[in-house]
Chains A and B, each alone.
Chain A
Amino acid sequence: MGGAKTDLELIKNGKRIDGRKFDELRPIKIEVGVLKRADGSCFMEWGKNKVLAAVYGPRECFPKHTQNSYKAKLTYRYNMAPFSVDDRKRPGPDRRSTEISKVSREALEKVIFLEYFPRTAINVFVEVLQADAGTRCVALTAASVALADAGIPMRDVIVACAAGKVEDEIVLDLCQEEDNFGSADLPVAISPRTGQIHLMQMDGILDEEEFKKAFDMATKGCLEVHEMQKKALREKYEKIGEVYGNE
């Protein structure tokens, strides 16, 4: 967390700086199948975040020595566009994006039936076009939808959402100002079907009670976003149904 001092009033009259309630998500829009060349894709707007996810595969795995004879090799690339943040971000992977890519790939590894596609590769690419706090959650949520869109067999469509602490309140889905000047951030990814946790990170300071409260709130946020994921996927296939007839 930034933890820097600020004159901003992050919480005023029981409302947050952007007017939200403590347990309220930012506005979310999910579009499925937005890229022509990818096997599956998803565009997501979450608050001011704009994130594009694409899935390729299962396809031939290169370089060949990285093939696994028992399962598909999953890769996940989280990348921020240089213009996505206030100061230009130097292009290419840095330490932060390498870490995010690692934990996000791991979050998906036990969800996808990788064992169905030995010796192949499934590649997930996520581009953050505009960033406004919580990009790793938006990226993973969009990647999950893109995987479903690619028709890759999965145990569930996982979903991510963060909760955190701003001044003395536990709040859902931190925006940029809250992320910069708040005191804790807890991104969580769950499998809604099993309730199990596939990604968890935390920075900042929380006591045990606050942690449980933030955990609860993030889980509820995840379930709310999951409904939107399902709706977006259904909408795409309803449209296809209209074109080809609904029998």
Chain B
Amino acid sequence: METSEIVWEIKKDSIRKMIQSGKRSDGRALDEYRKMEFLENYVPKAQGSCLVKLGDTQVLVGIKMDVGEPYADSPDRGNLSTSCELVPLASPDFSAGPPDEESIETARVVDRGIRESKMIDFEKLCITEGEKVWTVLVDIHVLDHDGNLIDAASIAGVKALLNAYLPKLEDDKLIYKERGDKLPVREKPVSSTFASIGGKNLLDPSYEEEMVMDSKFIIVTTEDGKICAIQKSGSGPHKREDIEGMVETAIRRGKEVRKQF
């Protein structure tokens, strides 16, 4: 057991007691999101990018486009690949090396939201059926970890995809310096993360809250108010009525957040 875990074990009681009385240490209401800031086109060398600041959490997503072979079961559609790096400068808990469970889960949940909402029109990313298609590479780079990485990464990813374009393709050669068409997108999935602490469900948990939570519940919604991805993460069980309540909140919040897009 690491020293930091013992410290959290000691802090746990006081933080949880506070939340029981409906208060959060940063003064937010239980269903209040932190302030969100976007810096679009932060890395112009990428084909799309966005730096999102969610409170003190900072996540940068860059999109690169490549040409590759389609999968056998989708010969007329482009591909999507999402990766996440929890780089060691973002938190004392992160270390360099191959992706661990947390980074794999983050990448896969963000990927699921983008893929299942049918945000990208993959049929338009086919160059030659069965031979050549565009591959969309979404790379999540976490820069500062103050909780709720999945929502921050998801919104940065969606924003980056919305402003992404294809590089120029000339005689099988990719010219990254020249802009081609815009990436064909048609949906804006929004991810909402709740932390469950002693039976209370808090929207947009901070790092401190994540350290003492029982479990986390992530819901991604589409523009017409449907659910396109769910992930329960963490060991604490949920009551059915709590899950239904979170789904309702996520759908409502999705609509509000999309106005900022």
Contacts and interface: CB of A to CB of B under 8 A. Distances in A.
Nearest to B237: A196
B237 A191 contact: yes
Interface stretch (A31-39, A94-102, A131-139, A168-176): A94-102
Interface string B95-118: 000010100110110001001111
B228 interface: yes
A1 B116 CA distance: 7
Interface residues of A, number: 42
A197 B227 CA distance: 18
A4 B115 CA distance: 12
28 contacts: A4-B73, A95-B104, A95-B108, A96-B108, A99-B104, A99-B108, A102-B101, A102-B104, A103-B232, A103-B233, A106-B235, A107-B235, A109-B235, A110-B235, A199-B232, A200-B217, A200-B238, A201-B231, A203-B115, A204-B228, A205-B222, A205-B226, A208-B226, A208-B251, A211-B227, A212-B244, A215-B240, A215-B243
A9 interface: no
Contacts of B31: none
A232 interface: no
Interface of B: 1, 72-74, 99, 101, 104-105, 107-108, 112, 115-118, 215, 217, 222, 225-240, 243-244, 247-248, 251
A3 B228 CA distance: 12
A84 interface: no
Interface in A35-71: 67-70
A19 interface: no
B97 to A, nearest CB: 14
A200 B230 contact: yes
B254 to A, nearest CB: 12
Contacts of A106: 215, 232-235
A224 B104 CA distance: 33
A102 B240 contact: no
Contacts of B227: 202, 205-208, 211
A140 to B, nearest CB: 13
Contacts, number: 102
Main secondary structure of the interface of B (DSSP, over half): mixed
Contacts of B237: 110, 191, 194, 196-198
B116 A203 contact: yes
Contact of B239 (A1, A197, A201, A208): A197
A201 B232 contact: yes
Q: Is the interface of A mostly helix, strand, loop or mixed?
A: mixed
Contacts of A72: none
Contacts of A87: 72
Interface in A171-220: 180, 186, 191, 194-208, 211-212, 215, 219
A196 B99 CA distance: 31
Interface in A78-114: 87, 95-96, 98-99, 101-103, 106-107, 109-110
B215 to A, nearest CB: 7
A2 interface: yes
B252 to A, nearest CB: 11
A196 B238 CA distance: 5
A67 B1 contact: yes
B243 A200 contact: yes
Nearest to B224: A207
Most central of A2, A186, A201, A206 by chain B CB within 10 Å: A201
A204 B116 contact: yes
Contacts of B117: 205
B92 to A, nearest CB: 17
